[in-house]
């Protein structure tokens, strides 16, 4: 029925010019025209469906189109203006792991195809309450724990600008679809950059809110029960105003009623639109993985722009980052010795992009310890990573949780001493070549820090890779010159013209401040 309606739309609907005009509108412009009856929800939806089909054919970003979306769009045309939500008639895509009634939420795993979702996830219910039309579910990497985007069920998703590159992950289908123009607003999830990396790779904007600011109910995970590195649902859009509008729409009484564990904190537009100068901390590198030349240049240029606009920029150094990553993040993610994750792969085929990671997790604890000892003289950081694997008893887990809390306190103290309000730092980019991400999970360092800290963090586009960046990449050696830093430049080489981004960070529950900095950069 949906595709028959699309054929009719092509034959008798809007002109090509009108469709291009719809696709060219910002989210704010689109919502205003829908509210004013200048555009009909069904026309907007069909325009985006046609574009999404085009983008999907190129990138394999969509795993399912929702046929009921056309009926829902038509029903919205009968809603009185006074009863319309903030997202009235807006087509929205959503990551595959979020439950939509009657659809699978597999996380790219065979075990996930056993049951259909009995009801929508909370975020989907709130989106519909605000008048949004959810029209597509988008692809993910197998298990979600990768910034590649492929799985044995739905296949490989590619970058909208370069089919040899990854769109990032784990919200890679969202990145490819929105970056290619096939959706104007999407919902992703983030446990180590899974919103921010695809947004950075695809030249769009993404926000990882504080964990718990939005509801995760009905969002599936391959490591449910892990509490040290905080996951978060969040929006992906073409511009920062689109992110802000989505947050404003979601943070409403309906959300707070559906999930009472979410603090009833409405979006504060006054903070977001505040024009007064800010004190902005910044760093170009964190001392663990050296950013490539284009990433460092993006931070420098954003810093200069902010200074020229009257903001005060202050150097900031994240405290004890190697300790944070090796002793806290890696131990927390797989405190069960990866038992929960590996259980999901029982009877499943391991995606080629995940072979390296899963093989590492399957190494027996004693052998892992022995390999750590043998490799220490040659690759000390990889040796330490091997030593972090293996399950922990309850007492050790409690000590780990206490250490994480102590580190959060230490980081906030450093933030206060520096006297900063927000923070500017690198975002991973440009898009990696397909097949490299699975062996370079250490690159999540640029983003996963803020999941452990549970700080809101977002990415905003900051130009593209230049010829000079590419020339300087040939001289990249990194801090340690180990296998991670030798592989990094090879993974991003040849990226002239591809998008770059910077990352903006704020203290917990201050999403409005984070978005405010992002808009200043934009």
Active-site pick, 146, 171, 189, 194: 194
Alpha-helical runs (H) found in 210-258: 240-250, 253-258
Q: DSSP letters of 58-78?
A: HH--EEEE-THHHHHHHHHTT
In b/e form, how buried is each residue of 238-256, taking b as 16+ CB within 10 angstroms? bbbbbbbbbbbbbbbebbb
- Secondary structure tally for the chain: helices H, strands E: 23, 13
User: Does residue 276 have a known ligand-binding role?
Assistant: no
Give the gyration radius of the chain's Cα atoms.
Answer: 22
Asked whether residue 170 is marked as a ligand-binding residue, the answer is yes
Q: Is position 312 annotated as part of the catalytic site?
A: no
Strands 279-282 and 312-315: parallel
Q: CA–CA separation, 123 vs 98, rounded Å? A: 9
> What is the C-alpha separation between 284 and 294, in angstroms, rounded?
11
Pick the closest to residue 61 from 148, 199, 196, 155 (CA basis).
Answer: 155
Q: Count the neighbouring beta carbons within 10 Å of the beta carbon of residue 478.
A: 17
Cα–Cα distance, 43 to 53 (Å, whole number): 15
DSSP notation for 159-193: -SS-TTB---SSSHHHHHHHHTTS-SEEEEEESSS
Q: Considering 93, 170, 183, 189, which one is annotated as catalytic?
A: 170
- 215 marked as part of a ligand binding site: no
Residue count of the chain, please give it.
522
Q: Which two tokens stand for residue 14?
A: 């809007």
How far is the first Cα of the chain from the last one, in angstroms, to the nearest whole number? 41
Q: Is 314 exposed, middle or buried (0-12, 13-18, 19+ CB in 10 A)?
A: middle
Which is nearest to 129 in space by CA: 265, 20, 254, 314?
Answer: 254
Max Cα distance, the chain (Å): 71
Query: Is 194 labelled as part of a ligand binding site?
Result: yes
Q: Is residue 194 among the annotated active site residues?
A: yes
Phi, psi (deg, nearest 5) at residue 62: -105, 130
How far, in Å, CA of 514 to CA of 522, rounded? Answer: 12
Among candidate residues 95, 125, 137, 254, the one labeled active-site is 95
Closest alpha carbon to 397 in 228, 220, 200: 228
Q: How far apart are CA 255 and CA 372, in angstroms?
A: 47
Token pair of 82, please?
A: 């006074």
Q: State the Cα–Cα distance between residues 331 and 341, nearest whole angstrom.
A: 14
Residue 69 exposed, middle or buried by CB count within 10 Å (0-12, 13-18, 19+): buried
Q: From the centroid of its chain, how far is CA 61?
A: 15
Catalytic residues: 95, 170, 194
Binding site, annotated residues for substrate: 144, 170, 191-194
Binding site, annotated residues: 144, 170, 191-194
């Amino acid at each position: 029925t949906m595709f028959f309606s699309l054929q009719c739309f092509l034959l008798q609907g809007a002109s090509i010019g009108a469709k291009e005009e719809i696709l060219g509108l910002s989210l704010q412009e689109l919502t205003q025209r829908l509210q004013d009856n200048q555009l009909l929800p069904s026309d907007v939806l069909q325009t985006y469906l046609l574009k999404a089909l085009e983008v999907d054919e190129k990138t394999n970003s969509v795993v399912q189109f929702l046929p009921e979306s056309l009926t829902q769009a038509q029903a919205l045309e009968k809603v009185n203006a006074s009863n319309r939500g903030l997202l009235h008639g807006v087509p929205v895509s959503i990551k595959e792991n979020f439950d939509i009634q009657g659809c699978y939420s597999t996380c790219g795993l065979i075990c996930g195809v056993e049951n259909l979702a009995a009801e929508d996830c909370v975020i989907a219910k709130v989106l519909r309450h605000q008048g949004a039309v959810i029209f597509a579910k988008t692809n993910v990497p197998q298990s979600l724990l990768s910034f590649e985007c492929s799985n044995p069920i739905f296949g490989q998703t590619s970058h909208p600008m370069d089919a040899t590159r990854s769109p990032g992950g784990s919200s890679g289908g969202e990145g490819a679809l929105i970056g290619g123009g096939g959706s104007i607003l999407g919902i992703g999830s983030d446990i180590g950059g899974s919103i921010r990396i695809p947004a950075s790779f695809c030249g769009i904007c993404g926000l990882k809110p504080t964990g718990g600011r939005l509801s995760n109910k009905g969002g599936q995970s391959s490591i449910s029960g892990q509490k040290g590195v905080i996951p978060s649902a969040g929006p992906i859009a073409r511009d920062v105003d689109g992110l802000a509008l989505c947050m404003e729409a979601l943070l409403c009484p309906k959300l707070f009623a559906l999930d009472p564990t979410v603090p009833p904190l409405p979006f504060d537009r006054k903070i977001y639109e505040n024009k007064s100068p800010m004190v902005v901390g910044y760093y170009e590198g964190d001392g663990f993985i050296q950013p490539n030349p284009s990433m460092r240049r993006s931070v420098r240029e954003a810093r200069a722009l902010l200074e020229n606009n009257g903001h005060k920029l202050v150097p900031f150094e994240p405290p004890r980052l190697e300790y944070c990553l090796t002793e806290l993040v890696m131990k927390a993610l797989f405190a069960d010795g990866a038992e929960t994750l590996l259980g999901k792969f029982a009877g499943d085929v391991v995606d080629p992009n995940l072979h390296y990671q899963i093989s590492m997790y399957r190494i027996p604890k004693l052998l892992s310890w022995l390999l750590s000892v043998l490799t220490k003289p040659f690759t000390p950081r990889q040796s330490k990573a091997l030593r972090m694997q293996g399950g922990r008893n309850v007492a050790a887990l409690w000590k780990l949780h206490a250490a994480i809390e102590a580190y959060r306190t230490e980081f906030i103290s450093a933030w206060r001493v520096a006297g900063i309000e927000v923070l500017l730092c690198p975002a991973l980019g440009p898009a990696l070549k397909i097949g490299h991400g699975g062996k370079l999970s250490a690159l999540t360092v640029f983003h996963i820090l803020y999941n452990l800290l549970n700080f809101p963090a977002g990415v905003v586009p900051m130009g593209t890779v230049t010829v000079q960046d590419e020339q300087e990449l040939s001289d990249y050696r990194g801090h340690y010159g180990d296998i991670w830093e030798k592989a990094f430049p090879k993974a991003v080489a040849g990226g002239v013209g591809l998008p770059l981004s910077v990352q903006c960070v704020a203290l917990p529950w201050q999403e409005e401040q984070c978005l405010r900095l992002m808009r200043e950069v934009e």
